[in-house]
Structure 1
């Protein structure tokens, strides 16, 4: 019998302006889920009596209202998984908070609803009273730490390895549908196709080679994979962060070199000079309290995010993403004299002639 699998919800494909050049489109598809480096991701565990929802019980037509609240032991498994990702030395950090309105990641433990997560900064589109991540079975059971590591991988922007076109997997489709229709998953054909058989766009994949040892790879029992031949007898990843998982995380979220980026001086443009996927960081210390505008310039696809330093850490204030449009990212916000702000600009692609820059005024 197969194990319990991560069941990502189907989401509409991002809409881009028709006619984009292939290179520009590829950069947008691959970079859209990723956080700007230096983000502090705050996570919250649902803990209220009303934090619950009605679900269909697996393998049944019955429904039941089931709590999202998990035990302290379950939470400790997730905390340890966050620490393991953090200890790679990546430029992101993770902070637990007790107020859901402060959290980018909001975590439930609703049994029977499967384990899943929003992909990367898609979590920002989820309402503050809804989950961005769920664990649908007991994480304290042997081997289930891998489930927590896997879902946090999704929260960092990673997708399923077995769906990579680089894997070259030839499935016995009907055997896969039959296997997942039964216990413990009870998946519909649509869910199975979306999470297993569907191939990702080449621009979406975590890397240009398949990593069967990845934390983002499912285990599979014998009889589901026809090719490659070596996996006809089953695929059993170790459930740990592989060397390529670590390489992915450090490529997108490298360690921050300096505690305080250079100043972005009002009314003075700062050239970006970035390659695709690279990022530039700046500090803004306003000389007066007023409304300010921060914007990118040039023929470029960028995401620009403004943070305010509070209690020594950057807190998300505002952001704009111009990817795939003819406009440039632009943020308007009231900045207060005596406070410190950070501007982080990540480039998807520079698609036209001339320099790209960011300015504050």
Structure 2
């Protein structure tokens, strides 16, 4: 693979920075930010490919001529993406990946618009993207570039760029970086280069206490772009595939779920939530009547709560609530059907005291 092909970089879309409506202390903020874009474990991430000719980007050149760049991909490209989802899933993680032909039913919506770069929204940011828009794009032929696909799926699962980890201690030759990215194959503006390379992500968003230069979420870099650490002045090339730490971290955030360990929740009975930050409680509820039910957490804590219905052994998302950084508790009110089985997944960001907290359905 030549250097120009190797150094085609992922271009993350910009999203607004998280703002808090109430004062949030540093420990609470760190706990919230590291989990903010992660999914509740057990989420079924449905993905779909844009197939029809009415999905495209219109590009205008310097003379005013317009060209349509279609979002559909080849059968070979789509199969390569399926294979990469299967590789992440083979790690025995709790997230599920399921292909659907219905764009409106999907969370991850994948295009193959050539020349627009490869990119993905990060984790739960996908929820905020209109259904007719892409949440992931592959801007060059990725049939033989498995690492590119694994990288973008890593973003979709909620993982940021590793080379922007402030714990890396990378000191850039900034002008060299800007000049390199301004040319082929990326042709990036200074603003885009800053956002994707030079900008350090907040320490609160970093997984772990160290830097992993072999992470699938790390770019390769050519010589004379890094001033220090000195060992990388002649270039940095992550090893192919998922690193040991990639595997450890995805298993930590999304451990394999065993439905046999789920707790049964009864109406008007409080279930104690005894979790450490990042932990998750999984509950099953089968109503004995059809009516509107309220599911609510109680206590001083930040949580995200998701309600799903079990349909043909698959959990189908119904509703969710995230109370992190707010002076309230997660609550979902929904009409539930007698005899049907529902799952309630609650993931803890932060708990302000050692006392017990709980959840109740009524």
Which residue matches 1:350?
351
Change (3 A) 1:68 1:38: same
Change (3 A) 1:355 1:211: same
Please tell me whether the aligned partners of residues 44 and 96 of structure 2 are also in contact (alpha carbons under 8 angstroms). Answer: yes
The answer as to 2:122 corresponding to 1:119 is: yes
Task: Give the secondary-structure state (helix, strand or coil) at the position aligned to 1:74.
Answer: helix
Change (3 A) 1:216 1:56: farther
Q: How does 1:88-167 map to 2 (within 5 A)?
A: 88-141=91-144, 144-167=145-168
Change (3 A) 1:233 1:60: farther
After superposition, the C-alpha distances for 1:319-348 in whole angstroms (9 at most, x for unaligned) are 000000001011011111121110000000
After superposition, the C-alpha distances for 1:119-144 in whole angstroms (9 at most, x for unaligned) are 11111111111111111100124xx1
Change (3 A) 1:284 1:229: same
Please tell me whether the aligned partners of residues 296 and 360 of structure 2 are also in contact (alpha carbons under 8 angstroms). Answer: yes
What's the TM-score once normalised by structure 2's chain length? 0.96
Name which of structure 1's ranges 351-360 and 24-33 shifts more when overlaid on structure 2.
351-360
The answer as to 2:172 corresponding to 1:202 is: no
For the aligned residue pairs, the C-alpha RMSD in angstroms reads 1.6
Which residue matches 1:27?
31
Please tell me whether the aligned partners of residues 22 and 327 of structure 2 are also in contact (alpha carbons under 8 angstroms). Answer: no
> What CA distance in whole angstroms lies between the structure 2 residues aligned with 1:169 and 1:82?
31
Please tell me whether the aligned partners of residues 22 and 326 of structure 2 are also in contact (alpha carbons under 8 angstroms). Answer: no
What's the TM-score once normalised by structure 1's chain length? 0.96
Please tell me whether the aligned partners of residues 299 and 353 of structure 1 are also in contact (alpha carbons under 8 angstroms). Answer: no
Which residue matches 1:83?
86
In structure 2, runs of 5+ residues without a counterpart are none
The answer as to 2:328 corresponding to 1:295 is: no
> What CA distance in whole angstroms lies between the structure 2 residues aligned with 1:267 and 1:201?
41
Q: CA deviation at 1:208?
A: 1.5
Which residue matches 2:57?
53
After superposition, the C-alpha distances for 1:54-75 in whole angstroms (9 at most, x for unaligned) are 2467x99875321110001001
Task: Give the secondary-structure state (helix, strand or coil) at the position aligned to 1:41.
Answer: strand
Name which of structure 1's ranges 230-239 and 10-19 shifts more when overlaid on structure 2.
10-19
Q: How does 1:1-361 map to 2 (within 5 A)?
A: 2=4, 3-55=7-59, 64-141=67-144, 144-259=145-260, 261-352=262-353, 354-361=355-362
Q: CA deviation at 1:93?
A: 1.2
After superposition, the C-alpha distances for 1:209-250 in whole angstroms (9 at most, x for unaligned) are 110110000011101001001101101112310000001100
Task: Give the secondary-structure state (helix, strand or coil) at the position aligned to 2:247.
Answer: helix
In structure 1, runs of 5+ residues without a counterpart are none
Q: CA deviation at 1:101?
A: 1.6
Q: CA deviation at 1:358?
A: 0.9
How many residues end up aligned between the 2 structures?
Answer: 358
Name which of structure 1's ranges 127-136 and 60-69 shifts more when overlaid on structure 2.
60-69
After superposition, the C-alpha distances for 1:241-274 in whole angstroms (9 at most, x for unaligned) are 0000001100000111334612111111101011
